[in-house]
Amino acid sequence: MAKEITSRNENYSQWYNDIVVKAGLADHSAVRGCMVIKPYGFAIWEKIQRQLDNMFKATGHQNAYFPLFIPKSFFSKEASHVEGFAKECAIVTHYRLKNDSNGKGVVVDPEAQLEEELIVRPTSETIIWNTYRSWIQSYRDLPILLNQWANVVRWEMRTRLFLRTAEFLWQEGHTAHATKQEAIEETEKMINVYADFAQNWMGMPVIIGTKSENERFAGAIETYCIEALMQDGKALQAGTSHFLGQNFAKAFDVKFATKDGGLDHVWATSWGVSTRLMGALVMAHSDDNGLVLPPKLAPTQVVFVPIFKNEEELERITQTVNGIKTSLENLGITTHFDNRDTLKPGFKFAEYEMKGYPVRIAIGPKDLEKGTVEVARRDKLTKEFVSQDNVVSYVKNLLDDIQNNIFNRALQFREQNTRKVETYEEFKKLLDTEGGFILAHWDGTPETEERIKEETKATIRCIPLDGESEEGKCIFTGKPSNKRVIFARAY
Sorted by where each begins, the domain ranges of the chain are 24-285, 295-397, 418-488
The alpha carbon torsion through 378, 381, 382, 384 (nearest 10 deg) reads 40
Query: What pLDDT, on a 0 to 100 scale, did the predictor assign at position 1?
Result: 47
Instruction: Report which of 377, 297, 306, 308 is spatially closest to residue 336, judged by C-alpha positions.
Output: 306
Instruction: Report which of 2, 23, 3 is spatially closest to residue 279, judged by C-alpha positions.
Output: 23
Q: Name the 3-class secondary structure at 264.
A: strand
pTM beyond 0.85, yes or no:
yes
Query: What pLDDT, on a 0 to 100 scale, did the predictor assign at position 81?
Result: 81
> Exposed, middle or buried by CB within 10 Å (0-12, 13-18, 19+), for 483?
middle
CATH architecture of the domain with range 295-397: 3-Layer(aba) Sandwich (3.40)
* Radius of gyration of the CA atoms of the chain, in A: 26
The alpha carbon torsion through 15, 20, 24, 28 (nearest 10 deg) reads -110
Q: How far is CA 356 from the centre of its chain?
A: 18
The rounded distance, in Å, linking the Cα atoms of 349 and 462 is 41
Contacts for 110 with CB less than 8 Å, ≥ 6 apart: 94
What tens-digit pLDDT sequence spans the chain (491 residues)?
445 899 999 999 999 999 999 999 999 999 989 999 999 999 999 999 999 999 999 999 999 999 999 999 998 888 778 788 889 999 999 999 999 988 889 999 999 999 999 999 999 999 999 999 999 999 999 999 999 999 999 998 788 999 999 999 999 999 999 999 999 999 999 999 999 999 999 999 999 999 999 999 989 999 999 999 999 999 999 999 999 999 999 999 999 999 999 999 999 999 999 999 999 999 999 999 999 999 999 999 999 999 999 999 999 999 999 999 999 999 999 999 999 999 999 999 999 999 999 999 999 999 999 999 999 999 999 999 999 999 999 999 999 999 999 999 999 999 999 999 999 999 999 999 999 999 999 999 999 999 999 999 999 999 999 998 999 999 999 999 999 999 999 99
295-397 shares its CATH topology with 418-488: no
Strands (E), 196-326: 207-210, 222-229, 235-245, 255-257, 263-265, 267-274, 302-306
Whether the Cβ atoms of residue 386 and residue 320 lie closer than 8 Å to each other? no
Whether the Cβ atoms of residue 304 and residue 363 lie closer than 8 Å to each other? yes
Query: What pLDDT, on a 0 to 100 scale, did the predictor assign at position 394?
Result: 98
CATH architecture of the domain with range 24-285: 2-Layer Sandwich (3.30)
The alpha carbon torsion through 258, 263, 264, 266 (nearest 10 deg) reads 60
The rounded distance, in Å, linking the Cα atoms of 90 and 235 is 28
The rounded distance, in Å, linking the Cα atoms of 134 and 328 is 51
Query: What pLDDT, on a 0 to 100 scale, did the predictor assign at position 3?
Result: 59
> Across the strands, what pairs with 361?
304, 375
The rounded distance, in Å, linking the Cα atoms of 241 and 226 is 9
Query: What pLDDT, on a 0 to 100 scale, did the predictor assign at position 169?
Result: 98
The rounded distance, in Å, linking the Cα atoms of 379 and 356 is 8
Kindly indicate whether the domain formed by 418-488 is annotated with CATH number 3.30.110.30. yes
